[in-house]
Amino acid sequence: MKGELEKNIVKRIKVNLDKCIGCRACELACSVFHANPKYSSVNPAMSRIQVVIDPLNDEYVPIRACDYSKAGCDGRRVYTINGKEYSECSFCGTVCPTRDLFKEPDSGLPLKCDMCEDDPPQKEPLCVQVCQVGALVYEEEEEEVEEEVRPDEMEIGLKSLIDKYGLEKLADTFARMSQKV
Amino acid sequence: MRYAETGYNLEIDLSRGNIERVETDPSLTDLHLGGQGANAKILWDRVPPEVEPSSPNNLLVFSAGLLCGTPVPGVTRTSVNTFSPQTNFFSHSTMGGFFAPELKHAGYDRIVIRGKAPSLVYLWINNDKVEIRDATHLRGKGVTETAALIREELKEPKAQVAAIGLAGENRVYTSSIGHGWSSAARGPGPVMGDKRLKAIAVRGTKDINIARPAELFEMCLRLAKEIYENPNVGDVMAVNEDDSFHHDNFAWGNARVRRKGYWTKELEERWRKLKYDHMDRQTGCYNCPKKCITVISYPGRKRFGYKCYAKDTYHMAAFQELDFSYEILGIAQEYGLDSYSTPQVIAFALELYEAGILTDQDLPGMPSDVRGRFYYLMEKIVHREGIGDVLANGVYWAARQIGKGAEAYDHNTTKKLEQIPIKLGRLNPLYFLMTATGEKMATTQIEGSFPQDPLPTREEREEFVRNWEAVPNDKLKQIFLEWEKRHEMAVEASCLICDWNEMMHYVDDAIGMCGFLSSFSGQHAGRPAYHINNLPYIISLATGMDLDKDGLWEIATRNRNLVRAINVRRGLRRKDERPPEDHWRVRDHEFEQKLLDAYYEFKGWTNDGIPTKKTLDKLGLNYVSEDFLRRGILTGNEGAPSKQTSSEKGDELKSRGC
Ligand code: SF4
Ligand code: SF4
């Protein structure tokens, strides 16, 4: 999937763990913005940002959903920061089979952060807009990157279904269902 | 479609192990909203007055407020209602945190629990899958420890847990239900223990629907920012290190000694350092930009979080400094002890010891230093061991069980419940009414909308009133404009203010709103984030109800009268509406009774504090008035105010300040 060099706006969300108060307003806002139709319902379990919280360990880590992977990591690091232990998973946005994070609760389909694409564009992603304490800060930067063809949301969903059920079964089901329509 | 609410209750019978999902009647939402309002209706309908709090037929109801789980910032309250073994009355209790929205996402507005489990169990609610599970391995475990163990065993790190500690298991009356760093006190703790329900864990991943979602969401974006920037809402004590207010004005020990001038700059610096040296962060509740909870790691203790005045109660009861509170809170909270009442019970016991009413025989092996004694008594209470079995029933009952003059040391309870330890000089008519008649039996749960203090000049007052968005009507504006001295408040004005203050709490408790953003937070600068003028529209956007200010006020009034009716049916009368005798040094009993007369009349209650048939019927509570007539609580002749002549009343409305 190699492409040409092109100018690209890199969108960055800086996360300050020390500032996070664990309110999960970011989760709520993301789910509302991505509801279908837009704003129609609330469901943090559908959010593409999730705050990993362990109050007893004073751990508050907002992570955003990245790519889908059909396998979990086989080795995991544990980091100690300021005397507090964090699993590597606490910082990882990959949608993987080892946990329920970033999967639609009913279908199990993966969710992915799209930086709140909107028309007209939002001034900032919604999670950043609602994070009053400034734990999430949005930045844009121009960067030269090699163009890459990104799979769209349907493609990611289909891929995860293939991984789960196998291509053949999926194709069968697809064929069966299209006959019914 | 139901908006903001799910339309389902979860009915749990612990005796039979039965679980049912029951659709609710939408018209009840129109009448009572949700939260405590809906709970009151359930308790009226289903718990007859002869049911003892310890009976399996007593219900324990956890209800999310109507707006919990919507995008409205700061609606975080779960109302937990039951009949309290300490007071035998309706137990008003709420907790913040994350429980209520999770319950809604699981598909339920409330959990109604009856019966008693044969052995210790916990409830696991995972969307449609609900189980009663064995909890014998969690016996004696601490509140946060239990939550962590349950999350681990269910492999559900996002489950929200409400649990009791050892104190609740042993039915200690001053125990509370803990959820994260939040808790529900004043009654439900011992009832949960009595039902042998160690915890409730909830995980919900369903949608909550909103009637006019885009408008509401846009409004909430703005509200969240305003709340974050408003210094008058949220727990001001979390950010203000000057705590001279409590230390100089509240009473130390067994609500006994005021230490004017205790607070110094040197002390403030030292305590500030102690706090920040041990503070990990400040946090709060679901979808709220405030950080009311201070999280502390103290050497040798589990991490714990506290809110508000809870950081003062232990060291003030023990005449110690802040480090003592930090030292003991980590343990007391794990036991699930309420930090308002428990320190008072301990200080009361130590006073009895000083007075020779309790002796070394009652307190074998008690250490000689005060800190050691606090730990000693706390252990006895939590285990209900020896004298602890008596003290675990709270000051009122313990005094009567101990006898030998101990009753005289019970000087800070109202309706059998420990009150905030305030002992003042001159009677304040408004506070008299609030303390006497508040059905939540705690001043903090009724005060808060009208400012605590007048402004010095007319110009300042005019300026204040001009920007006073929260005020319900011009009459209250006028009262503030003319108000000059704190303790001088005419009878009619006192009634109007008491009613407004109280109504806002009834609104909050029904919708799940946090008082720190609303009903409690107008008293310093008059600038709460939510008030009677903006809430009806917010509720309408979320629920689709057609609601205006008068409509919301009427619902709050209905809920308030229903709670009163529930208690009246269990025997509450005028004689019970007494603030502690020494709450004010200078009392005027005749005037106080006039205040009560006027307030009852204003509320549409009889001279004995019973809502009249007219009042009840006007609110659609005909089933209550019929019940009262059947039981002979009302005779049917109570139309007019019973005792006073109107000329007396006219005089009194004009004069009598303090
Ligand atoms: S909104 Fe900000 S403070 Fe709140 S949980 Fe998300 S990142 Fe943390
Ligand atoms: S940027 Fe948008 S999509 Fe991504 S996590 Fe934040 S709210 Fe969700």
Q: What are phi and psi of B540, to 5 degrees?
A: -65, -45
- The tokens for B26 are 């939408």
Cα–Cα separations (whole angstroms), residue B537 to A28, A85, A120, B5, B191: 21, 46, 28, 17, 37
Contact B542, B70 (CB under 8 A): yes
User: What's the rounded Cα separation, in Å, for the pair B341 and B410?
Assistant: 13
pLDDT, tens digit, 9 for 90 and up, residues B491-542: 999 999 999 999 999 999 999 999 999 999 999 899 999 999 999 999 999 9
- Ligand 2 neighbour A113 (Cβ under 6 A): yes
Residue where a domain terminates, one of B377, B405, B433: B405
What pLDDT is stored for residue B643 in this prediction? 46
Cα–Cα separations (whole angstroms), residue B257 to A23, A162, B318, B322, B349: 39, 73, 11, 17, 16
What pLDDT is stored for residue B138 in this prediction? 98
R_g over Cα of chain A: 18
Mean pLDDT in residue range B229-233: 95
Residue B415: inside a domain, yes or no?
no
What pLDDT is stored for residue A100 in this prediction? 86
Q: A26: CA distance to ligand 2 center in Å? A: 8
- Ligand 2 neighbour A130 (Cβ under 6 A): no
Residue type, A37: P
Residue B623: inside a domain, yes or no?
yes
Contact B74, B288 (CB under 8 A): yes
What pLDDT is stored for residue B324 in this prediction? 97
Q: Please give the DSSP secondary-structure letter assigned to residue A74.
A: S
Q: Please give the DSSP secondary-structure letter assigned to residue A57.
A: G
Quick check: B100 pLDDT over 50? yes
- Chain length of chain A: 181
Can you spell out the DSSP letters for B339-366? Answer: TTTHHHHHHHHHHHHHTTSS-TTTSTT-
Chain B's closest residue to A26, CA to CA, is B287
Contact yes or no for B224 and A39 at CB 8 A: no
Quick check: B223 pLDDT over 80? yes
Mean pLDDT in residue range B46-63: 98
Contact yes or no for B210 and A39 at CB 8 A: yes
Total of domains in chain B = 3
Average pLDDT over chain B reads: 95
Residue B211: inside a domain, yes or no?
no
Mean pLDDT in residue range B156-172: 97
Residue of B525, B486, B452, B443 whose CA lies nearest to B236: B525
Chain A residues with CB under 8 Å of B281 CB are 18, 21, 58, 60
Residues 6+ apart with CB under 8 A from B112: B9, B10, B11, B12, B42, B59, B61
Burial class (CB in 10 A: 0-12, 13-18, 19+), B1: exposed
- The tokens for B303 are 């991490």
User: What's the rounded Cα separation, in Å, for the pair B394 and B338?
Assistant: 11
Q: What is the CATH number of the domain that holds B526?
A: 1.10.599.10
- Same domain? For B650 and B591 the reply is yes
Quick check: B180 pLDDT over 50? yes
User: What's the rounded Cα separation, in Å, for the pair B383 and B165?
Assistant: 11
Digits of tens for pLDDT over chain A (181 positions)? 455 677 788 889 999 999 999 999 999 999 999 999 999 999 999 999 999 999 999 999 999 999 898 888 888 899 999 888 999 999 999 999 888 899 999 899 999 999 999 988 899 999 999 999 999 999 998 887 666 666 677 777 777 778 778 888 878 877 777 775 5
Within 10 angstroms of residue B332's Cβ, the number of other Cβ atoms is 25
User: What's the rounded Cα separation, in Å, for the pair A13 and A135?
Assistant: 10
Residue B224: inside a domain, yes or no?
no
Structural domain for B455, as ranges: 424-656
- Same domain? For B160 and B249 the reply is no
Residue type, B413: T
Quick check: B646 pLDDT over 50? no
User: What's the rounded Cα separation, in Å, for the pair B201 and A32?
Assistant: 25
pLDDT, tens digit, 9 for 90 and up, residues B257-311: 999 999 999 999 999 999 999 999 999 999 999 999 999 999 999 899 999 888 9
Q: Please give the DSSP secondary-structure letter assigned to residue B605.
A: B
Contact B341, B185 (CB under 8 A): yes
pLDDT, tens digit, 9 for 90 and up, residues B381-404: 999 999 999 999 999 999 999 999
What ranges do the domains of chain A cover? 5-149, 151-181
Question: Chain B interface, mutation test: which of A23, A34, A129, A133, most B Cβ atoms within 10 Å?
Answer: A23
- Chain length of chain B: 658
Mean pLDDT in residue range B627-631: 97
User: What's the rounded Cα separation, in Å, for the pair B437 and B435?
Assistant: 6
CA angle B133, B137, B143 (to 5 degrees): 90
Chain B residues with CB under 8 Å of A21 CB are 281-284, 289, 291
Quick check: B657 pLDDT over 60? no
Q: A49: CA distance to ligand 1 center in Å? A: 10
Chain B residues with CB under 8 Å of A18 CB are 281
Mean pLDDT in residue range B181-192: 96
Within 10 angstroms of residue B526's Cβ, the number of other Cβ atoms is 21
- The tokens for A109 are 């389909």
Q: What are phi and psi of B387, to 5 degrees?
A: -65, -25
Quick check: B650 pLDDT over 50? no
Contact yes or no for B286 and A24 at CB 8 A: yes
Mean pLDDT in residue range B195-224: 97
Contact yes or no for A35 and B295 at CB 8 A: no
Which H helix or E strand runs over A167? helix A167-180
Cα–Cα separations (whole angstroms), residue B569 to A19, B182, B338, B464, B611: 50, 31, 28, 43, 11
- pTM here? 0.93
Which regions of B245-363 does DSSP assign to beta strands (E)?
251-252, 257-258, 279-283, 293-296, 304-307
What percent of chain B is predicted at pLDDT more than 70? Answer: 97
Residue B214: inside a domain, yes or no?
no
User: What's the rounded Cα separation, in Å, for the pair B12 and B421?
Assistant: 38
Q: What is the CATH number of the domain that holds B81?
A: 3.60.9.10
CA angle B254, B258, B263 (to 5 degrees): 120
Residue B430: inside a domain, yes or no?
yes
Compute the half-sphere exposure of residue B178: CA atoms within 13 Å on the CB side of its CA. Answer: 31
- Which of A105-127 are b and which e, b meaning 16 or more Cβ less than 10 Å from the residue's Cβ? beeebbbbbebbeeeeeeebbbb
Quick check: B622 pLDDT over 90? yes
pLDDT band at B645 (very low <50, low <70, confident <90, very high): very low
3-state secondary structure B455-488: CCCHHHHHHHHHCCCCCCCHHHHHHHHHCCCCCC
Lowest-pLDDT range of A158-167, B240-249, B270-279, B358-367: A158-167
Within 10 angstroms of residue B284's Cβ, the number of other Cβ atoms is 28
Mean pLDDT in residue range B142-154: 97
Residue with tokens 């063809």: A149
User: What's the rounded Cα separation, in Å, for the pair A142 and A160?
Assistant: 32
